Structure 1
Amino acid sequence: MVAALLSSILKLLEIIAAEEAKQRGTLVGDVAEEFTMLSNKLKDIIDVLEDADKKMSTDREYIRGPMDKLTDAAYDLVDVLDEWITTLRINGVGKTSNLKAKVGSYVTHFFHTDQVVTPGDLAFKLKGINHSLNLMDMAVGTVSVNLGVRFKMRYSRFLTHTTDVSVSELVGRDKVIQDIVRTVLYWSTEEGRKLVKTICVVGMGGLGKTTVAEQVYSEVRSHFHNGIWVCVSDVFDEKKVAKAIIAQVERVAVDSLDSFPLVTLHERIRRSVSGNKFFLVLDDVCTNDMRHWEAVIQNFEHGAQGTFYGMGVEARWDLEDFGRRISKKCKGLPLAAKTLGGLLRVKSSREGWETILNTEIWALDTAHQKDFVSLLLSYYDLPLPLKQCFKYCAVFPEDFEYDGETIIYHWMAQRYLGWDNDKDLELKGREYISYLAACSFFQDFLPDTDSLKSTWKMHDIMHDFAEFLMNNDEIVIEVMNPGGNSMIDLSATKARYLTALIPEGCCLPTSIYGAEKLHSLVIISGENAITNEAVQIIFNQAKRLRLVDFGCHNALVDTIPKEIGNLIHLSHINLSGSKIKELPRSLFELPNLQYLNLDNCESLENLPDEIGNLINLRHINFSGSKIKGLPGSLCKLHNLRYLNLNNCKALEDLPNQIGKLIKLIHLGTLHCDRLACYPKSARRLTNLRQLHGIVLRADRDDPKEFALGDLENLDHLRELSMVLKGNAVNERELKRAKFENKTHLKEIKVE
């Protein structure tokens, strides 16, 4: 974790240098030289500490003291640099002096001065940072590290599951089966060509063709994302075959596909296997009509290449001995073999596999005690940002059902996806999820049309592994205080991430000792578990919080205390299900807020104009509230990507300036029964991917109201649900909408 933190510090220094140069015109003389020196020193320390992470597995007690001090100092430095950046940006846009004073307080404390440190005191600050890095450098010098081998993985794939077929014992066909298995796994393909490889097993009935196929299927299935087995029988029914393929890949009932035409079924197959490796068995095929085969095979041309793509047969066979010896080290653990297989896939050379076989990590006593050796090999191979993202999953309890929206916005709050708010961080988060799934760190995916809503779980062993890596940076605690109060004491720990599990009948304590350094507070509870008093005290104590997630059903909370304005680092707040009636003005002074979830806050009626101050806000969810309209100032939120107003029964209109939200990807107004129309300016929202519940005129091109034809430039849409006004669909408007250009569109619903 220390290397990742120092990598964040390096990035923060780059941002500060750019912002200082922007406001000053340039960085001159000693200042520019100081920045260069700090950057170089950080890079050297990071190189050493990446390997110190590995050393922690063997000599954990020997280096724990220095590493803990390094971690603590790095966290403090991240906090102060974060505040420095906030100060610079507030200064750049001319925010109120009240907010500037709040931001400057911790910076002043860090640099041990009674004077408010202004953005201009650059040389003074750099000396303080340099002093901190010198102390870190000395601590690093006490850590003995044997440098290991580093790899960088450069692939991304999705993990899916299918049902296995039964395997019968077969005698006398071993050589045939092994020849087919080798052909399947080691098949060479010309570079740049995407050919679907085919093997035909032919012969008269009763020779054992199906049994051979079952044996091959059983041996190679684990090497593919999708294993598909379809019994064709006498008549080659293309629709029946297509439905059987989809049912296995998407894990749906065959009957649910009856109403779809063949062309739609083929399109679903193409989407399902795109970018994936698949192994398809068509059993009991009695036709030699190539037209049937071509109709099926064209849907598979966009699958991924095999594991040893581009290698010759002899080179691949040369790896077999190493593979068998490595597999023995997994000691029969399927999860270990599966995770390590992802690593071997991209190290497909004799030297790469030999290095993995001989790495000293196999000898680590601590890791062996917990069966983590093979997991460590795959973990160390992850790029640095993904290491942070995986370890962070330990803040959730075992058996937690993760979803894309929750985990991505949690990662964003901790800055694991970067510091540039202009970039599509949500897309980067989806890529990270796919990467970790490809390495088998996540499992049991349930896909959704909106990838942010896809869910998955983490194996218990993998969750234990994440906690092992966190090394006491996080604490998951169950609060048991039925009928009375209690306290949480973190003062003896270095924890930055606290998750409190509160069963029915218990409440969050009003006192959390040692909360001053917390970055994350997650509450998983039943109803009435969080009081207004507890929230107020927490916001007074934990001023470095980046994330506050109170989950849902916390109906006892009816007020957000004004003390929330103290949390100048806060990026993420989830108060869904609370009874709040209004939002405090201090909430709209939070300069770093990106995520605001007030889903199912049924008593919330008004939004103040100050909401336009939250210029970094990316995600707002007011679903189920009683708000009647949105203030025009909301349209100043030029970074907004997600706006959910579903089930706002009292909502009557949207601001005319809504077209200014040009980065908006998701807009939802489903079941907003009083919403009479969308403003015309909404046609400028050309980045929209999901547009749910849009009210539009279908009978004419209205000068003020959004009409059907105004969809013409919304070509990125993937999901669209419309409420049509008028007694007919105007043919000219339908033509102007240009649906033929909306090639990403998967779903349309019309009322």
Structure 2
Amino acid sequence: MAESFVFDIADSLLGKLASYAYDEVSRAYGVFDDLKEIKNTLSIVRGLILDAEYKKDKKHGLREWMRQIQNICSDAEDVFDGFEFQHKRKEVVAASNSTQMKVRHFFSSSNPIVFRPRMAHQIKDIRDRLNKVAADGNNFGLGKIDVGPELVLQRRELTHSHVDPLSVIGRENDKEEIIKVLMQPHPHGDGDGDKSLCVIPIVGIGGLGKTTLAKLVYNDKRMDDLFQLKMWTCVSDDFDISQIIIKIINSVSASTFTPVSAPPSLAPGHQKNINNFDIEQLQSCLRPKLVGQKFLLVLDDIWNDDRAKWIELIDLIKVGAAGSKIIVTTRSNSVASMMGTIPSYVLEGLSLGDCLSLFVKWAFKEGEVIKYPDQVEIGKEIVKKCAGVPLAVRTLGSSLFSKYDLKKWLFVRDSEIWNLEQKKDDILPALKLSYDQMPSCLRQCFAYFSLYPKDYTFSCDDITRLWIALGLVQSQNGNEKLKDIAREYLDELNSRSFLQYYDNINIPDYFKVHDLIHDLAVYVAKEECVTVDSHTRNVPEHARHLSIVEKISADNALFPKSRSLRTILFPIEGVGLDMGTLLDTWISRYKYLRYLDLRYSSFNTLPKSIAKLEHLRVLNLTHNLNIRRLPHSICKLHNLQVLKLTGCTELETLPQGLGLLISLRELYITTKQSVMSLTEFANLNHLQDLTFHNCDNMKFLFNKAQQLSSLEILSVSSCGSLESLPLFIFPQLQTLIISDCQMINLSLYNESPIQSLTMKQLYIGNLTGLLTFPGWIEGVVDTLETLQIYELPNLKTLPECLTRMTRLKRLQMFDCPQLLSLPSDLHRLTALENLVIYDCSKLFQKYQPQLGQSQTYSEHLYIGELRGLLTFPGWIEGIVDTLETLQIYELPNLKTLPKCLTRMAHLKRLQIVECPQLFEFSKSNASPHYP
């Protein structure tokens, strides 16, 4: 295991001990002082871990000492979670009117008379073990290192501006694209003040060649003619204004150009005391060097996203002449967005051919490649695992330099990159720097990507549920929604180039991770997270998270005897558990499971013993086609937050006592049951997300008119018998999804507008009987942000109130062939950012507003599958100044792009797919800045 992961585990536990939930429960059970003592000791041990990381290779026993800390933290979490579970069980019993339940509770091990002494003993054991490792740490001679969660375990070497162009392969086009921007006037500049200072970000994952590309541009002879002054500054880990200014001054002094007006004290020979200057002295040195000069400044390897510091630096250097430019390189999209004045240049991987050329250059001596055709063939397979990243190519190529034994080449081909020896400048250290730069909460979450195979399509919801179930996401004040915090984690990982979101017209729901990023996740998690396939012969005893990606035998010897397992999941479609006996064994052995994902399984019954999993947060039985009933004992899982039964088409009924699942937040149902009991659901006070799918017998959603006041998301799909949907039951509903419910009458029980609706997202689709919108849509005029309609073959008109939806951001229409027109006053939708029109064949035939009509409503426009569209409508002129994305596809008769395209200064993405008649298409208008 990477030892920094142990630090993250300790750091995570410290966060939980400080959380609102733990504070509340510890006070209720009289163990607040004990937790406080544990927290103080753990804080000391956390600091010792960092010193141990630096000394682990020199002192025998430190790795085992760190493993002990991990075990203690894991056990402590189980003990404290036991308190939480007991607290919830007490709530359930107190709220129950059942004398039988209260009597059972009194005579059970949960009786406080029995429970408190047992838990007190467990807490004392945790405290004693923690005190011992703290003392052992002192005996090892470890010192406490005080750092924040943004710990950095390694630092990148500073870069320089020199590069041999002949050694670089495959970046000529990228260089020309950057130079083209440098040679153009600032697209938004007016030649005055900071507007004349164009900042061009180059962004991409570590090892992709951002610095190399910047060097190629910097050293191109055209730059010497274009700029009077060139400066190269490597910023790297910190964004210290004083140090950056010193580096810029030194870079100017090293330049061949010396300003005539510069005083003698600023000449190169007078720089020896500059490191002792304060910020006022530094800016007095810097500004005269730049004033009136047209300069090119490269700021290489930026990590810090503190906008205040960036503005402070810009204010100091914006004295240059009009046309001055700055190139910044960064791995972070958020940094690039914050610093850039034009869209980021997102650096892509090299082609397979360029990768092979680079590999040959590093693996063979000059002129020797022709002697080893077999090695070259193996090399072609080796470079595929590099996924276009030149540093990975160099790493693997150099590892084989002058080694022509085929066995060594086959070993590299068949080994994962993290198993190969790595020098400090190789790919994994370069990528791990990005990992080390992340906050502790992100580092721990990131490691769980290793549970999924390469090229896996991640669901944002699935991975965030896993993080939440494992306690990696904490709300410090008790008010923030955990799923919102987890989604922020994903956004942060995306901003650091760790994710590859799909280009989705909605909020991204799926993403992938680069193969090398996956390698890094496996490297940092190691024995903590294990994937099981047909080649697995044993699972390490210390494993805590298992992912089963291929069909397995019923051999129990494969799985660890350790009771510390927290996660079992089956992420691959068609790979599930078909042995109920093995599941029963798992339940008995792994009582501390938090996450049990048994999707695509085929066992007939869920064991009654499921109630033993008191710590379980997520139970996923999706697409189990054989299960008919759930045991009533499942309702004893008072910690359960997510229950997924979608696709369980043989499930006859839901278990009685569903209302006892007091922590349930998400419930997904497929059942043959015809009526839901609202009494059961009404007790689910934390239920926020409710989905009914393929409930073919369900005619009425609930049998009573009682409200579900906590529900925020309701999805009803493929429920062929459903007749009505009384919305007044859901006063806090934010998102409503209705799809493929052919018998439904959306106006039934909703005849008049419901003024109290607070809905923000509405999705309606695949309803053949829908001719017009129901009247209750008037009730969402002031709140609706997303309206998506799709597969409505008989819908002819949009609601009249549409243009009064002043908060509407996304209007999306798919496959509505009878839809005749858009409102003529669509420009009133001033908040609209995303407009999608796809396969609405009659729409553009009628909707052709006059050229030049003033509209400024859309940042993203998608138009597709409109056979009648010959030219763009005139209203596109109205979005020239706002459009960022234009995607057109399947327009078989479109012949010209809009003339105003080249005036779309904010356009970042232009995608043209299957437009065979399009003639007027050139690079200048297809690519406003970058490909």
Query: Normalised by the size of structure 2, how large is the TM-score?
Result: 0.53
Secondary structure at 2:650 match in 1: coil
Contact in 2 for aligned 1:501/1:523 (Cα 8 Å): yes
Structure 1 position 706 matched with structure 2 position 750: yes
Tell me, yes or no, if structure 1 residue 134 matches structure 2 residue 182: no
Equivalent residue of 2:78, what SS? Answer: helix
> Contact conserved, 1:9 with 1:78, CA < 8 A, in 2?
yes
Asked if 1:438 is matched to 2:495, the reply is yes
Q: After TM superposition, give the deviation of residue 16 of structure 1 in Å.
A: 6.7
Aligned pairs for 1:314-333 (under 5 A) are 315=317
What is aligned with 2:331? 339
Q: Is the 8 A contact 1:152 1:381 kept in 2?
A: yes
2:677 to 601, 625, 631: 631
Corresponding residue for residue 359 of structure 1: none
Report if the CA contact (8 A) 2:150-2:439 is conserved. yes
1:336-735 mapped onto 2 (5 Å cutoff): 339=331, 368=424, 371-418=427-474, 423-447=480-504, 449=506, 451=508, 454-479=509-534, 489-490=538-539, 493-503=541-551, 506-511=552-557, 512-524=559-571, 526=574, 529-552=577-600, 554=601, 556-578=602-624, 579-623=626-670, 625-632=671-678, 633-655=680-702, 660-679=707-726, 681-688=728-735, 690=737, 705-707=749-751, 709-710=753-754, 713-720=757-764, 733=775
d(CA) in 2 for partners of 1:407 and 1:665? 21
How has the CA–CA distance of structure 1 residues 530 and 133 changed in structure 2, closer, same or farther, with 3 Å as cutoff? same
What is the deviation of 1:9? 3.1
| Map of 2:405 onto structure 1 | none
Cα deviation, 1:101-145, whole Å, max 9, x if unaligned, reads 88869xxxxxxxxx9852477765543332122023134433747
Q: Distance in 2 between matches of 1:707 and 1:77?
A: 56
Provide the residue aligned with 1:10 in structure 2.
14
CA distance in 1, matches of 2:462, 2:584: 24
| Contact map agreement 1:502 1:524 (CA 8 A) in 2 | no
State the structure with more CA Rg: 2
Aligned letter for 1:19? Answer: E
Q: In structure 2, how many angstroms separate the alpha carbons of the residues matched to 1:50 and 1:708? A: 64
Distance 1:174 1:121 in 2: 67
Structure 1 position 390, deviation (Å):
0.4
Q: Does 1:36 align with 2:36?
A: yes
Q: Tell me, what secondary structure is at the counterpart of 1:643?
A: strand
Counterpart CA distance in 1 for 2:451 and 2:106 is 32
Distance in 2, Cα, partners of 1:558 & 1:392: 30
Contact 2:724 2:746 in 1 (8 A): no
Query: Is residue 2:779 matched to residue 1:737?
Result: yes
Amino acid at match of 2:331: T
User: Contact (CA 8 Å) 2:72, 2:126: kept in 1 or not?
Assistant: no
> Is 2:447–2:522's contact at 8 Å kept on the other side of the alignment?
yes
What runs of 5+ residues in structure 1 fail to find an aligned partner?
A: 106-114, 154-163, 200-217, 224-303, 328-336, 349-364, 481-486
* Alpha-carbon separation, structure 2, partners of 1:635 and 1:315: 62
Mapped to 2, the partners of 1:726 and 1:716 lie a distance apart of 21
Q: What CA distance in whole angstroms lies between the structure 2 residues aligned with 1:550 and 1:90? A: 26
| Match of residue 204 from structure 1 | none
- Residue 198 of structure 1 deviates from its aligned partner by 8.7
CA 1:305–1:726 in structure 2 vs 1: closer, same or farther (change >3 Å)? same
The DSSP-based 3-state class of the residue aligned with 2:563 is helix
Name 1:90's counterpart in structure 2: 89
SS of residue in 2 equivalent to 1:543: coil
What is the distance in 2 between the residues matched to 1:188 and 1:121?
75
**Equivalent position of 1:312 in the other structure:** 314
Structure 1 Cα separation of the partners of residues 338 and 141 of structure 2: 31
Report the 3-state secondary structure (helix = DSSP H, G, I; strand = E; otherwise coil) of the residue aligned with 2:676. coil
Q: Offset at 1:546?
A: 0.7
Question: Offset of 1:519 from its aligned partner?
Answer: 0.3
Per-residue deviation, residues 174-211 of structure 1 (Å, max 9, x unmatched): 99964659x689999999xxx99999xxxxxxxxxxxx
* Contact 2:442-2:489 at 8 Å conserved across structures: yes
CA shift in 2, pair 1:640/1:693, >3 Å = farther
In 1, the alpha carbon distance for the partners of 2:619 and 2:458 equals 18
Contact 2:696 2:721 in 1 (8 A): yes
SS in 1 for 2:599: coil
Determine if the alignment matches structure 1 residue 19 to structure 2 residue 52.
Answer: no
Q: 1:522, CA displacement in angstroms?
A: 1.5
Q: Distance in 1 between matches of 2:107 and 2:534?
A: 36
**Match for residue 229 of structure 1?**
none
**Displacement of 1:602:** 0.9
Name the CA distance, whole Å, in 2 between partners of 1:189 and 1:566.
71
Residues 343-387 of structure 1 deviation map (CA, whole Å, 9 limit, x = unaligned): 799999xxxxxxxxxxxxxxxx96738622232332222222111
Helix, strand or coil at the partner of 1:596: strand
For the residue of structure 2 that corresponds to 1:544, the secondary structure is coil
Q: Give the match's secondary structure for 1:627.
A: coil
Q: Distance in 1 between matches of 2:550 and 2:660?
A: 35
In 2: Cα distance, 1:11 partner to 1:376 partner: 24
CA contact (8 A) 1:99 1:589 kept: no
| 1:45 maps to amino acid | V
Identity %: 19
Return the letter of the residue paired with 1:395: L
Distance 1:190 1:536 in 2: 71
Distance, in Å, in 2 between the alignment partners of 1:639 and 1:466 is: 33
Give 1:64 shift.
1.6
Alignment of 1:139-150 (within 5 A): 139-141=136-138, 142=140, 144=142
Q: CA deviation at 1:82?
A: 1.1
Are 1:746 and 2:787 counterparts? yes
Q: Which residue of 2 aligns with 1:299?
A: none
Cα separation, 2, equivalents of 1:712 and 1:151: 44
Deviation at 1:68, TM superposition (A): 1.2
Cα distance, 1:148 vs structure 2: 9.3
Distance 1:640 1:53, change over 3 A: farther
Q: Greater shift after overlay, 65-74 or 683-692?
A: 683-692
1:373 corresponds to which letter in structure 2? P
Q: Offset of 1:502 from its aligned partner?
A: 1.7
Distance apart, 1:409 and its partner CA: 0.8
Shift of residue 629, structure 1, vs aligned partner: 2.2
> SS of the counterpart of 1:564?
helix
1:595 offset after TM fit, Å? Answer: 1.3
Say if 2:79 and 2:122, in contact at 8 Å, map to a contact too: no
Structure 2 unaligned runs (5+)? 95-100, 152-169, 200-211, 218-305, 321-325, 341-420, 796-931
Cα deviation, residue 83, structure 1: 1.1
Report the structure, 1 or 2, having the larger helix content. 1
Matched letter for residue 586 of structure 2: I
User: Are the structure 2 counterparts of residues 152 and 668 from structure 1 closer, same or farther at C-alpha, using a change threshold of 3 Å?
Assistant: same
**Structure 1, residues 259-315: CA drift from partner, whole Å, max 9, x if none?**
xxxxxxxxxxxxxxxxxxxxxxxxxxxxxxxxxxxxxxxxxxxxx999944532655
Q: Distance in 1 between matches of 2:788 and 2:17?
A: 45
The root-mean-square deviation of aligned C-alpha atoms, in Å, is: 4.8
> Closer, same or farther in 2 for the Cα pair 1:375/1:726, shift >3 Å?
closer
